[in-house]
A and B are shown apart, each in its own frame.
Chain A
Amino acid sequence: MTKYIFARLLATLPTVLLLLFFVVVLIRLLPGDAVDVLLAESGGRAETADYEEIERSMGLDKSIPEEFFAYTIGLLRGDLGTSLWSRSPVLDTIASSIVVTLELTILSLVVGVLVGVGVGIISAARRGSILDYCLRSVSVSGLTIPNFALATMVIVFPTLWWSWSPPLTYTPLKDGLWPHIYQFITPGLILGFGLSASLMRLTRTSMLETLGQDYIRTARAKGLRWERVVLRHALRNSLIPVVSLLGLQIGALLSGAVLLEQIFGLPGMGRELVTALNTRDYPMIQGIAVVSGLMVIVVNLLVDISYVLIDPRVR
């Protein structure tokens, strides 16, 4: 097992380096930089010498290879740089905002897994029934309605009908546990709904395949109850593709969180990222992209490890 984990860890190293490379290089290929943003209000023009002086003072005068090298070394020391605008360490900003993002993504993950896997099992077990058709129709809507559209409807219609809406401003934990959790429920449900739809469909397909296996028939022939066959024998063997999808969906969840944090006023990494992009705050964009990328890598590593737990033959 240790050898397996070590091998998986080694395999992530090139991914991390590639991630760093893309983050540092691609951001600098965007048109315009922080100096352009700074000068925008005065017409955006400056003498070349002035422009270069501002670039130097903001630390934007390094070449891309220099920047990549310096950033990688800094990262190894745990230094993600300093925001060009707030001039506070990027790590501090991420440390405070990642909590919000994690709260949202974990809640949506729980919703997505419980609903998606649960409904997938029911749908597979009741294959061809009206319930199956209804559940599949609902899951299609989860796949087709974009998060932002759902969020818009969830805000607009209750405002229109009842002069009420889900919380639209952020309540920190110090202002009360329930108000703090309450504000995550709506965005968590919206984000979880999209995830649950794809999980439901895959769970159903995987379950149907497993339920058609000989050993399931054998279990039934031995007189085991249908529920026990489904939950004990079929489900576990259907989980590997579902868990794989879950790992892949973490990236989608983080992307979805960017939009929903914006709409529901949640000060997570997504909102910091949007602000940083609009102001070309390179260190902040890099920091958030690296941390998000590492989160995806770590989750997928955990998924790989979980294969062994689910099916020891993988080892």
Chain B
Amino acid sequence: MTGNYWSRKSRRGNSRRAFLTSATATGAGALSLALVGCGDDDDDDGASTTSGPSNGTSAAGAPTESPKKGGTLRFPVTAATPDVWDPHISATAAAMLWQVIGNQALHLSADGAQLLPELVEKWEQPGDGTQITLMIRKDVKWHNKPPSNGRAFTAEDLAFNINRIAGKLNPDQTARFQRRSTLPNLDKAEAIDATTVRVSLTAPSSSFLTGLADFRNNIVPKDFVESALDDFKDATKLVGTGAFTIDSYDPKGNQVFKAVPNWNAPRPYVDGVEFVGYGDRLSMLSAFAQGQTDMFEQLPTNMAERDSLKKLTSNFREEKWISNVWIHWRFNTAREPFTDPRVRRAIFLAIDHKAIGDSTLGPGYWDYSGPLTGYKEAIPSAEIAKLPGWNADTKEADRKTAVELMTQAGFPKGIPFKFLVSGTTSVPYQAAVRAVDDLKKVWPDSNPQVDALTDGVAFNQRNVSGDFDVISAQIGGFPDALLELEAHYGSKGSRNYGKYSNAQIDAAVINAGKELDAGKRKQILLDAQKILIDEMPIGRYLASAWTVFYGPHVKGAQGYGIVGVGTGNYDTRYNLQNIWLDK
């Protein structure tokens, strides 16, 4: 059994440029509270722990077991937040729902390294790379709900979606289309026949197809949008092409999904999925411990919550893998003295990042991250771990260097500044508190502080407006290394909150965008990362694990989460295709 979606028998992948061949794809909330001191203190509690996508099905039950059909997978969610169910406008809550009922044009393999077919079966980006041809599957139908009423998925639908995601169809409200940056350089997409879409780009883009595979870029029926049917207000009216259709939606409670009868791909093993709404993480944890739900996710992983669960029950199987949610210090490079790279590097060198990872996420639940996290073009974490600033073994030497750099910058006694964080229980908060201690050890008179905002919206506003010295935060990565590089380090990057500007990085963004040769593109991105390590506009230091706890009866899960929260989870709906319940 593999994690295949349209067919469990085989999977086919594709490089960005080459026409599809038959390449085989790889199968690939704060509860320390009352539990401290409760229950059995023995950590060897019988719960099994496995790691990562690489473990395949081994941890999910013996491969020789025959999957059983039936049952409903009950998944806890923090109770419904009213949202816009339009996946092209909405924040992540809609993506969560569309992961169950919908499909993307393409998706990425679990390691993010390979494009895999979904609604688009084949693709090519020939010549200078300004034209992309997408060929859709011919056997896909929309759910049997108005206005699509079970009609076939067409090239018109796909072209419409690509244009819409990029905001081309609503030029007066482009900003509302949040994933437009995932489709760089789009001029237009048009259906040239019933099954083929031609995408025209204003300039070559090596990241367009990967961006299209972003897990939030779900495909909606053209007639649904054009008929303005309910304007995406009523979740039960949504029409997708996925293996499940939404049966009921209670904004105050649960969302129930049923398997689509006579679906045009192998039917999932489970008859349905239920998102069970809880008020908070504590309630979710308690419900899972009592067997009221089948699984429980953590992204990023949370050591206190994990330990609490182990106190409450040992009747679960744990899986974890390193995600591309990265934790970092973001320097405001437009504000003195952080305009000086020596100051930024000095601060980064003075902090013990290993100690932060071990004390906040727990040993084994994090890995080192450089300027780009987890991509095949990223500097591998094993290499990053040896570099000054990251390497715990050279920390004393790093701190001497830090003092020298800060002295050269004109601040022999260090600098007073504030870490801006959201919340007082999050990992970035705990990290900032530890960093303050580290900095005081090196510069006792420097008086660094933590400025904790309890409200995420207030934090975002300060972040976006650039009203900070240094931010301590965590964030999920884009599906593509170049999109990530441009967003965070490009002069006009959508997430360049620290206002970093470097002509070499901007040139690298342009050159890597034009470069369709994977090897040359990787070299450009590697060179850019070396510059960023020296410049240190963002001190990325670790990537968090994604942890999932399954009830002992949940089998077939491939080591990926269910809900498309954040990124690093590109196989969500494929997991739903493979899970079965041994009850």
A contacts, CB < 8 Å to B: 30-33, 36-47, 50-51, 53-54, 57, 83, 85-88, 96-97, 149, 152-153, 155-157, 159-160, 163-165, 168-170, 172, 261-267, 271, 275, 277-281
> Is B39 an interface residue when CB atoms closer than 8 A count as contact?
yes
Which of B144-152, B176-184, B298-306, B362-370 lies at the interface with chain A?
B176-184
The chain B residue with its CB closest to the CB of A33 is B457
**Stretch of B113-121, B286-294, B433-441, B538-546 lying at the A interface:** B286-294
What would be 24 A-B contacts, judged by CB atoms less than 8 Å apart? A30-B458, A31-B455, A31-B461, A32-B457, A33-B457, A37-B91, A37-B460, A42-B178, A47-B175, A86-B233, A160-B312, A163-B289, A164-B290, A165-B286, A169-B277, A169-B278, A262-B279, A262-B280, A264-B279, A264-B283, A265-B278, A275-B81, A280-B457, A281-B82
| B418 interfacial contact with A, CB 8 Å | no
A271 touches B279 (CB 8 A): yes
Q: B282 interface residue, CB < 8 Å from A?
A: yes
Of all chain B residues, which has the CB nearest A97? B252
**Are A159 and B33 interface neighbours, CB within 8 A?**
no
CB-nearest residue of chain A relative to B461? A32
- Check A155 against B176 for contact (C-beta < 8 Å): no
| Interface set, chain B 228-280, CB cutoff 8 A to A | 231, 233, 251-254, 276-280
Give the distance in Å from the alpha carbon of A172 to the alpha carbon of B254 in the complex.
12
Seed contacts A31-B455, A280-B457; 7 additional CB < 8 Å A-B pairs: A30-B458, A33-B457, A155-B282, A157-B38, A168-B278, A168-B279, A277-B455
Known pairs A263-B279, A271-B79; A163 contacts B487 (CB<8 A): no
Given contacts A39-B178, A85-B84, is CB(A265)–CB(B283) below 8 Å?
A: yes
Task: Render B143-177 as a binary contact track against A, CB cut-off 8 A, 1 for contact.
Answer: 00000000000000000000000000000111111
Is B311 in contact with A160, judged by CB distance below 8 angstroms?
Answer: yes
Asked if B35 is an interface residue, CB under 8 A from chain A, the answer is yes
Does any Cβ of A come within 8 Å of B141's Cβ? no
Give the docked Cα–Cα distance between A140 and B157 (Å).
Answer: 66
Task: Find out whether the CB atom of B252 lies under 8 angstroms from the CB atom of A267.
Answer: yes
* Chain B residues near A83 (CB-CB < 8 A): 82
B contact residues vs A (CB 8 Å cutoff): 33-35, 38-39, 79, 81-84, 89, 91-92, 172-181, 231, 233, 251-254, 276-280, 282-283, 286-287, 289-292, 311-313, 455-458, 460-464, 487, 493-495
What's the nearest-Cβ distance from chain B to residue A252, in Å?
A: 20
A153-B457 contact given A85-B83, A160-B39, CB 8 Å threshold: no
* Cβ–Cβ contact A159 & B286, under 8 A: yes
Most buried by B among A42, A149, A263, A278: A42
Assembly CA distance A176 to B254 (angstroms): 17
**Complex: how many Å from CA A116 to CA B462?**
47
A163 and B290 contacting across the interface, CB-CB below 8 Å: yes
Contacts of B79 in A (CB 8 A): 265, 267, 271
Bound together, the chains give a CA A165 to CA B290 distance in angstroms of 8
Chain B, residue nearest A154 (CB)? B34
Chain B residues lying within 8 Å of A281, measured Cβ to Cβ, are 82
Q: Do the beta carbons of A50 and B252 come within 8 Å of each other?
A: no
B181 with A36: CB separation less than 8 A = no
Chain B nearest Cβ from A176, distance in angstroms = 15
A280 / chain B contacts, CB cutoff of 8 Å: 457
Residues of chain B within 8 A of A165, CB atoms compared: 286-287, 290
| Chain B neighbourhood of A33, CB < 8 A | 457
Q: Return the 6 tightest CB-CB contacts between A and B, nearest first.
A: A43-B494, A267-B252, A50-B175, A32-B457, A46-B175, A42-B178
Interface centre among A160, A172, A261 (most CB of B within 10 A): A160
Which residues of A sit under 8 angstroms from B38, Cβ to Cβ?
156-157, 160
Query: Taking A156-B286, A264-B283 as contacts, is the C-beta distance between A275 and B35 under 8 angstroms?
Result: no
Smallest Cβ distance from B191 to chain A, in angstroms? 27
Known A44-B463, A85-B84, A163-B313; judge A152-B34 contact (CB<8 A).
Answer: yes
CB distance from B477 to the nearest CB of A (A): 13
Q: Name the distance in Å between A126's Cβ and chain B's nearest Cβ.
A: 34
What residues on B are CB-neighbors of A159 within 8 Å? 286, 289-290, 312
Query: What chain B residues lie within 8 Å of A38 (beta carbons)?
Result: 89, 91, 176
- Asked whether, in the complex, the Cβ of A155 is within 8 Å of the Cβ of B494, the reply is no
Closest Cβ of chain A: how far from B232's Cβ, in Å?
10
Residues of A within 8 A of B277 (CB): 169-170, 265
Closest to A170 in B: B253
Do residues B172 and A31 form an inter-chain contact, with CB atoms below 8 A?
no
Contacts A36-B457, A87-B233; A169 near B276 (Cβ below 8 A): yes
Residues on A with C-beta less than 8 A from B290 are 159, 163-165
B464 pairs with A36, CB closer than 8 A: yes
Query: B33 — which chain A residues lie within 8 A by C-beta?
Result: 149, 152, 156
B34 touching A41, Cβ below 8 Å: no
Q: Are B457 and A88 in contact (CB under 8 A)?
A: no
Residues in B with CB closer than 8 Å to A44 are: 460-461, 463-464
Chain B residues positioned under 8 Å from A172 (CB to CB): 253
Residues of chain A within 8 A of B276, CB atoms compared: 169
A275–B456 alpha-carbon span in the complex (Å): 12
Closest CB in chain A relative to B281 CB, distance in Å: 10
Known: A45-B494, A159-B286, A262-B280. A50 touches B174 (CB 8 A): yes
Q: Which residues of B contact A266 (CB under 8 A)?
A: 279
| Residue pair B181, A261 in contact (C-beta under 8 Å) | no
Chain B residues with CB under 8 Å of A36's CB are: 457, 460-461, 464
Contact residues in B for A262 (Cβ distance below 8 Å): 279-280
Complex contact A261–B83 (CB within 8 A): no
**Is B457 a contact of A45 with CB atoms below 8 Å?**
no
Distance in Å: Cβ of A158 to nearest Cβ of chain B: 9
A261 closest partner in B (C-beta)? B279
Shortest distance from the beta carbon of B76 to any chain A beta carbon, whole Å:
9
A40–B460 contact, CB under 8 A? yes
How many angstroms between the C-alpha atoms of A44 and B495 in the bound complex? 8
A40 pairs with B278, CB closer than 8 A? no
Contact B173 A57, beta carbon cutoff 8 Å = yes
Task: Give Cα A160 to B309, complex, Å.
Answer: 10
Q: Which residue of B lies closest to A58 (CB)?
A: B176
A85: nearest chain-B partner, CB-CB:
B82
Which one of B172, B286, B291 contacts A155 once the chains associate, using CB atoms below 8 Å? Answer: B286
B254, B283, B287 pick with most chain A CB within 10 angstroms: B283
- Residue of B at shortest CB range from A260? B279
Minimum C-beta distance from A267 to chain B (A): 3
CA distance A263 to B312 in the complex (A): 18
- Residue in A closest to B92 when the chains form the complex, CB atoms: A41
> Shortest Cβ distance from A4 into chain B, in angstroms?
41
- Asked if A263 and B283 make an inter-chain contact with CB atoms under 8 angstroms apart, the answer reads yes
- B95: nearest chain-A partner, CB-CB: A41
Min CB distance B68 to A, Å, is 25
In the complex, A30→B495 CA distance in Å?
23
Cβ contacts under 8 Å, A164 to chain B: 290
Write out the residue numbers on chain A whose beta carbons fall within 8 Å of the beta carbon of B172. 53
Q: Is A43 in contact with B487, judged by CB distance below 8 angstroms? A: yes
Instruction: Decide yes or no: A265 and B279 within 8 Å by CB, A85-B84, A155-B286 being known contacts.
Output: yes
Q: Which residues of B contact A157 (CB under 8 A)?
A: 34, 38
CA distance A263 to B278 in the complex (A): 8
For A42, the chain B residues whose CB sits under 8 A away are 175, 177-181, 494
Inter-chain contact A278/B457, CB cutoff 8 Å:
yes
Name the B residues within 8 Å of A263 (CB-CB): 279-280, 282-283
Chain B residues positioned under 8 Å from A155 (CB to CB): 282-283, 286
> What is the CB-to-nearest-CB distance from A292 to chain B, in angstroms, rounded to a whole number?
18
A residues in contact with B286, CB < 8 Å: 155-156, 159, 165, 168
CA distance A87 to B234 in the complex (A): 11
CB A70 to nearest CB in B, in angstroms, measures 23
Name B254's contact: one of A32, A169, A279 (CB within 8 Å). A169
**A277–B174 Cα gap in the complex (Å)?**
26
Please state if B458 and A170 are interface contacts (CB–CB under 8 Å). no
